[in-house]
Amino acid sequence: MHEAAAHGAEAAMTLTGVETGYLILIPLLPLIGFAINGLGWLFARERWSRPVVNTIAVATVAGSFVLSVKAFFDLAGLEQGAYLVQNVFTWIDISPKLEGMSGLIAPFKLVFDRLTAVMCLVVTGVGGLIHLYSTGYMAHDKAFARFFAYLNLFTFAMLTLVMGGNIILLFVGWEGVGLCSYLLIGFWYEDPEKASAGKKAFVVNRIGDFGFLVGIFGILWLTHTLDFHEMQEWFHLNAADLAKYSFVGIPIATFIALSLFVGATGKSAQIPLYVWLPDAMAGPTPVSALIHAATMVTAGVYMIGRLNFIFINAPTAMMVVAGIGVATALFSATIGLTQNDIKKVLAYSTVSQLGFMFIAMGVGAFAAGIFHLVTHAFFKALLFLGAGSVIHGMSGEQDMRKMGGLKDKMPKTFWTMTMAWIAICGIAPFAGFVSKDEILWKAFSAGGGFGKLVYVVGLAAAVLTATYMTRLMYLTFFTPSRIDHEVERHVHESPWNMTVPLMALATLSVFGGFLNWPAALGGGAHFERWLAPIWVSTSGHAAHHGIAAVEYGLMGLSVGVALAAILLTRNLYLNHMAKTGEIAERAGWFYQASLNKYWVDEIYSAMVVEPIKTISWFFLFRVVDVNIVDGIANGIGNLTKRLAEAGKRLQTGVAQTYALYMALGLLAVLAYFFSFR
């Protein structure tokens, strides 16, 4: 730990910001796109020109991508640890009014360091491709202007999240992407099921956000700053004194880290708050690809990476992160095995892959986690877009039992999805192999029985991943067609604006791994070295270099079991399709549990939702609202009415009565004067 702190010191000392003027344009361009398309939708609805909407939506994100690339090269030209910065304006400024009070200053400050560079390139690059794809996918939808307005707004919020220089700005982006997620899941809000899926996502995320806010307050209380660099400086200077601070008996760093992680479980769909993500598939498929696979759901991973200097001081919290990660990875992979909706399989796969990222974060292999985030963005976005292409070609059918034999009908979709399939299964040298294997290796070599346990469970999850992805591919593309005849006549390959993004992402899925080709295989691990200045303790953790022979062995093992899983599944679905039912029968309760998602939604419903509903109805509504709230409101009204009924009799309409009142008043005044004076 001391060694790590010393190295952190060097990193903290060399942090120098270089002022730039163009950073604000990166998030601003999509915001302008949102404004134009949003106003177009407000005032013109579907009469707003479709080519204009498409051009603005894609061009603004492409512009952001170009600027991100420029910023990336500007950043690469600086020394290690330097970053680009732009202070746009002072947003919150609560200056201390009294001696001893601490102020709170949150400027709208954009920071572009090496981690942000990676995130920005993924968000604008993959995001841009998905925008292009959407122009084809939404070609028949009337509310296209609204769709692209939301999509651009999402890009703006996500870029704010990754570029924000302080945690409040990060939180603004965090909530912004949550809002856009809600709007886009419920995009087809005429369907109550889809609208309620959006609501579910919003509510579940709100639970996580509560933890996140508590974490932010904890940080503010502890360090008196919101700025990431100042925070890092504080932790660097006070690392030795951290033990002095605690909250309800928990060491403060652990408390803050766990609170922040609660936020991450909400946004990044980990146990116990993952339940919203599979339902989020109600949104249009490009939304699933962009928000619920490639970018937004990785915000939790990014946040832990950004605040690594806190997590590294909280070993217990790190173990929790890794434990939750690996549990989620295995748990959701078993659900993915039996789902019949093509998007549901991919949704549970996403939850599972996010689990892998949290394993990496939890064992301190931050670079491996971020790298898996990047490769996952490539191949999972590709899988979703491919699935969208299939759904588009099949006139909206999502049930894999009604697919099959699409290999020849949709060759481009098939071949690109195959690349993603091999990548996610972890076959060398595709992108998924490099990133997933790196995580498993880091977990294995992290030391202790815990690391080994995480490795074994993670490997099991990887095997299941290969199995359910092979099942998906064979059910969709290889097995004999089970498509309705009516639908089959319309099956067609998607237009160019949908297949081009597929091909681009396929290329990235195949070759993306070479960005971080491991040293053990003669590579340079460029990605890991690029990010090294971001982590306070890379040297401390990289110290445990394992034995090379073990690393080779584990690589071979994971590729071997993945291949075995693929071949077994292939054989089952290609030659013994009839046996699948028999196997399901044999698995008994386990099959039922997996098919019904372990009844988690039902359990949550019975344990949380229904009690709240019951309390709301029988106590809050029947007692508090009807009796107390309504009672007070009606009571005041009734009282006034009764008083008025009594009082109005004074008004007789005869002038002499009023004169009598005046005389009585005069007498009262006189009586007062004579008795009290």
Partner 1 sequence: MNALTDPIINVGLGHFLALSAAMFCIGMAGFLTRRNVLVIFMSIELMLNSANLALAAFAWQRWDLTGQTFAFLVMVVAACEAAAGLAIILTLYRNRKTVKVDEFNLMKW
List residues near partner 1 by CB under 8 A: 648-649, 651-656, 659-660, 663
Q: State in angstroms the smallest separation of the CB of 660 from partner 1.
A: 6
> Would you call 185 helix, strand, or coil by DSSP?
helix
**Nearest approach, Cβ of residue 663 and partner 1 (Å):** 6
What letter would DSSP give residue 21?
S
Nearer to partner 1, 98 or 655 (CB): 655
Own/partner long-range contacts of 237-241 (Cβ < 8 Å, ≥24 apart): 239/5, 239/8, 239/313, 240/5
Alpha-carbon gap, residue 336 to 359, rounded angstroms: 19
128/137 Cα distance (integer angstroms): 14
Transcribe 364-395 into DSSP letters: T-HHHHHHHHHHHHHHHHHHHHHHHHHHHHTT
Peptide bond into 411 cis (omega under 30): no
CB of 655 to partner 1, least distance (A): 6
> Which residue carries 């290796």 as its tokens?
441
Give min distance, CB of 654 to partner 1, in A. Answer: 5
Q: Closest distance between partner 1 and the C-beta of residue 675, in Å? A: 19
Cβ proximity to partner 1, 47 vs 649, nearer residue = 649
Between CA 505 and CA 381 the distance in angstroms is 8
Order of strands across the sheet with 104-112?
A: 16-19, 82-94, 104-112
Q: Looking at beta carbons only, is 485 or 648 nearer to partner 1? A: 648
Q: How far is the CB of 653 from partner 1 (least distance, A)?
A: 3
Whole-number Å distance between alpha carbons of 528 and 545: 14
Tell the smallest beta-carbon distance from residue 651 to partner 1 (Å).
Answer: 5
CB of 643 to partner 1, least distance (A): 14
User: Rounded to the nearest whole angstrom, what is the least distance from the CB of residue 649 to partner 1 in the complex?
Assistant: 7
Query: What is the per-residue DSSP string for 229-276?
Result: HHHHHHHHHHGGGGGG-EETTEEHHHHHHHHHHHHHHHHTT-TTSTTH
| CB closer to partner 1, 634 vs 652 | 652
Residue closer to partner 1 (CB basis): 639 or 659? 659
* Dihedral of the alpha carbons of 411, 352, 354, 201, in degrees to the nearest 10: 90
Instruction: Please calculate the CA angle 218-262-93 and round it to the nearest 5 degrees.
Output: 35
89 or 673: CB nearest partner 1: 673
Residue 454, token pair as written in the block = 């995480």
β-bridge partners, 18: 84
Give min distance, CB of 669 to partner 1, in A.
14
In whole angstroms, what is the distance from residue 257 CA to residue 305 CA? 12
CB of 674 to partner 1, least distance (A): 14
The Cα–Cα gap between 495 and 475 comes to: 23
CB of 95 or CB of 656, closer to partner 1: 656
Let me know: does 540 contact 1? Beta carbons within 8 Å: yes
DSSP letter for 318, please: H
Q: To the nearest whole angstrom, how small is the minimum distance from the Cβ of residue 661 to partner 1?
A: 11
Report the residue number, 596 or 640, with the smaller CB distance to partner 1. 640
Nearest Cα to 436, choosing from 360, 497, 504? 360
Calculate helix-pair angle for 315-336, 252-267, nearest 10 degrees: 20
Count of residues in the chain: 677
- At a CB cut-off of 8 Å and minimum separation 6, what does 666 contact? none
Q: Which is nearer to partner 1, 16 or 652 (CB)?
A: 652
Nearest to 463 by CA among 334, 345, 628: 334
- Residue 656: CB minimum distance to partner 1, A: 6
